[in-house]
């Protein structure tokens, strides 16, 4: 049981630590939002990782042929959503800067809305479930229901802890960069990074 928990933690950190477009967007949202909003977004990402880990444990070999036909459409959908988010964030930052919005005027997005938004974005990535399926089929998670539950819980915990670290870092960054010009440049840089990573999803 302990070995399964360790395997789940390693699997969760393995999928969470490489910061991709979703992680970059999380930091950008947290930087201009209250901490609770960033935390809600972080838990949405972790919930998607946990759900995919559960699917991998429950489905095993059956998931690979089912996901193969939809992997490309999901990849395109994910890239288009991320590009739209990058464009929306950049446009909102430019408008706020031109309007002379106060540096601390942060949009009060409810945490539950941030949770569902980031859950939806993360679910669009089919590579997550393929990653967990490969681990399960490789023997990194035991086949028993109890061990499977421990693996999923550990993977969710690892992902949640890392995403919360990212969101907290974003919040602290937002507090540090208080001038209008600094917030504009940060928002544009994050939008550019998200757009670049979205293109990387396709190629």
pLDDT digits 0-9 by tens, 140-189: 555 577 888 888 899 999 999 999 999 999 888 877 766 677 677 777 77
On the 0-12 / 13-18 / 19+ scale of CB atoms within 10 A, 164 is: buried
Which phi and psi (to 5°) does residue 134 adopt?
A: -60, -40
In this prediction, residue 108 carries a pLDDT of: 60
pLDDT digits (tens, 9 = 90+) for 43-69: 999 999 998 888 778 776 666 666 667
In this prediction, residue 112 carries a pLDDT of: 93
DSSP class of 17: S
Residue span of the structural domain in which 137 resides? 2-202
In this prediction, residue 29 carries a pLDDT of: 85
Count how many domains the chain has: 1
Residue identified by tokens 């681990």 is 135
Residue identified by tokens 């036909």 is 69
**pTM for the full model?**
0.74
């Amino acid at each position: 049981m302990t070995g399964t928990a360790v395997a789940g933690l390693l699997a969760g950190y393995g999928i969470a630590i490489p910061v991709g477009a979703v992680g970059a967007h999380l930091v950008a949202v947290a930087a201009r939002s209250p901490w609770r909003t960033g935390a809600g977004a972080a838990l949405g990402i972790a919930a998607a990782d946990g759900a995919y880990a559960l699917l991998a444990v429950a489905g095993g070999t059956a998931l690979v042929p089912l996901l193969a036909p939809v992997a490309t459409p999901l990849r395109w959908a994910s890239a288009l959503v991320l590009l739209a988010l990058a464009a929306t964030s950049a446009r909102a930052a430019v408008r706020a800067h031109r309007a002379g919005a106060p540096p601390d005027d942060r949009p009060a997005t409810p945490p539950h809305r941030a949770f569902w938004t980031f859950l939806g974005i993360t679910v669009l990535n089919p590579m997550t479930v393929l990653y967990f399926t490969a681990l399960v089929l490789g023997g990194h998670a035991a086949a028993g229901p109890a061990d499977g539950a421990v693996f999923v819980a550990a993977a969710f915990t690892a992902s949640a802890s890392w995403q919360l670290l990212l969101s907290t870092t974003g919040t602290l960054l937002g507090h540090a960069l208080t001038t209008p010009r600094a917030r504009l440049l940060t928002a544009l840089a994050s939008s550019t990074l998200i757009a670049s990573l979205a293109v990387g999803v396709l190629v």
